[in-house]
């Protein structure tokens, strides 16, 4: 059931189980899922619960409505209620509707609201959080991401500005990505991508969304049988003020003279957001010695 769940979404279930056991509940109820969601993704809940003390007041309201029992040991299995099972199924449907391969915390939030008569949904609705509003916001975010990707120029279309015009922020973002590649840190690599960013690995497989990109990065890094010589930035090109195309190269093998060595190249497209420069797409290719692109 949880194969498509992001790591953070899985933590929601883990924290919900913990909340249920702490309150002595023999079942994981929807309010425990809500508390788990708040624990696992504070950024998401802060984004949609903008009323000062709303998040703090949720726990107080839950505690006022439930009967607290003796704590249940973590070794004891605590099953999901029917309502919670509905929510997990709804989360998958919401992800499919948005054409997301992953099931994240945002889909769980939508799913809670779809189970409209449950306690968790009523707590959210009382704070002005509605299914329609969240759907519209997520749809707008996806549209913005798709528009960035759609309008991102191919490397051949990029117009280079004068040398040295690229910003320090662009270079810093690229260096972070390069560092993640050099240390083979898939989690860090994926965190530098837009939430709907795309990564094409050296096998030609497409990975969409941070959770998927992390999986793709793990596969990408594991494809190297030998330690990589530290990579470097080959080129930075800019289009206007908010699009940058960067080429990163590095080699695998004993050294440049190794007849079995391979040269790897990654073309990375970044865009500027309110939170700095982020990756919207990256395409890795493998070039054998003698290739015309080497």
Evaluate whether residue 57 is within a structural domain.
Answer: yes
pLDDT score of 165 more than 80: no
Residue with tokens 């700095």: 276
Of 112, 146, 180, the residue that ends a domain is 146
Say whether both 222 and 252 belong to one domain: yes
Identify whether residues 234 and 171 lie together within a single domain: yes
Mean pLDDT value of segment 123-141:
86
Residue 64 tokens, joined: 């006022």
Residues 165, 136 share a domain: no
Q: Please, are residues 25 and 69 in contact by the beta-carbon 8 Å criterion?
A: yes
Q: Give pLDDT tens digits for 38-81.
A: 988 877 777 777 655 577 788 889 988 888 888 988 788 899 99
Query: Do 31 and 133 reside in the same domain of the chain?
Result: yes
pLDDT of 161 = 42
Are 70 and 14 in the same domain? yes
Same-domain check for residues 49 and 108:
yes
d(CA 101, CA 207): 9
pLDDT digit string, tens, across residues 188-230: 999 999 888 889 887 777 888 888 899 888 888 876 544 455 6
- 280 and 172 share one domain: yes
Domain range enclosing 235: 155-287
Whether 27 and 135 share a structural domain = yes
Print burial letters for 264-278: b (CB count within 10 Å at least 16), e (below 16). bbbbbbbbbeeeebb
Beta bridge partners of 266: 248, 284
Q: Are strands 262-273 and 243-252 parallel, antiparallel or unpaired?
A: antiparallel
Spatial contact of 103 and 9, defined as CB atoms under 8 Å apart: yes
User: What per-residue confidence (pLDDT) applies to 236?
Assistant: 84
**Strand, helix or coil for residue 110:** helix
Give the tokens for residue 84.
């919670």
Structural contact between residues 247 and 266, judged by C-beta atoms closer than 8 angstroms? yes
Which residue, among 70, 59, 73, has the nearest Cα to 18 in the 3D structure?
73
Average pLDDT, the chain: 80
- Of the candidates 66, 61, 77, 60, the residue with the CA atom closest to the CA atom of residue 26: 77
Total domains in the fold of the chain: 2
pTM of this structure: 0.56
Q: Do 205 and 134 sit in the same domain of this protein?
A: no
């Amino acid at each position: 059931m949880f194969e498509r769940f992001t790591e953070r979404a899985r933590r929601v279930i883990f924290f919900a189980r913990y909340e249920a056991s702490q309150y002595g509940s023999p079942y994981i109820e929807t309010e425990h899922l809500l508390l788990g969601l708040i624990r696992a993704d504070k950024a998401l809940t802060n984004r949609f619960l903008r009323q000062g003390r709303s998040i703090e007041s949720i726990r107080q309201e839950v505690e006022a409505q439930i009967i607290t029992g003796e704590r249940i040991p973590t070794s004891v299995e605590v099953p999901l209620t029917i309502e919670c099972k509905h929510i997990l199924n709804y989360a998958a449907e919401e992800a499919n509707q948005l054409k997301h391969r992953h099931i994240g915390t945002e889909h769980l939030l939508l799913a809670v609201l779809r189970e409209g008569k449950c306690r968790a949904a009523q707590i959210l609705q009382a704070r002005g959080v509605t299914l329609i509003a969240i759907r519209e916001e997520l749809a707008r975010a996806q549209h913005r991401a798709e528009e960035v990707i759609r309008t991102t120029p191919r490397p051949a279309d990029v117009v280079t500005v004068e040398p040295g015009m690229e910003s320090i922020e662009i270079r810093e973002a690229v260096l972070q990505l390069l560092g993640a590649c050099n240390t083979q840190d898939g989690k860090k690599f994926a965190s530098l991508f837009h939430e709907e960013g795309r990564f094409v690995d050296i096998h030609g497989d497409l990975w969409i969304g941070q959770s998927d990109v992390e999986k793709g990065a793990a596969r990408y890094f594991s494809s190297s049988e030998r330690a990589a010589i530290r990579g470097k930035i080959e080129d930075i090109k800019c289009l206007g003020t908010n699009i940058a195309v960067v080429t990163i190269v590095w080699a695998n093998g004993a050294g440049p003279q190794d007849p079995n060595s391979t040269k790897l190249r990654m073309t990375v497209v970044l865009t500027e957001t309110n939170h700095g420069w982020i990756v919207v797409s990256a395409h890795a290719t493998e070039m054998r010695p003698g290739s015309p692109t080497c």
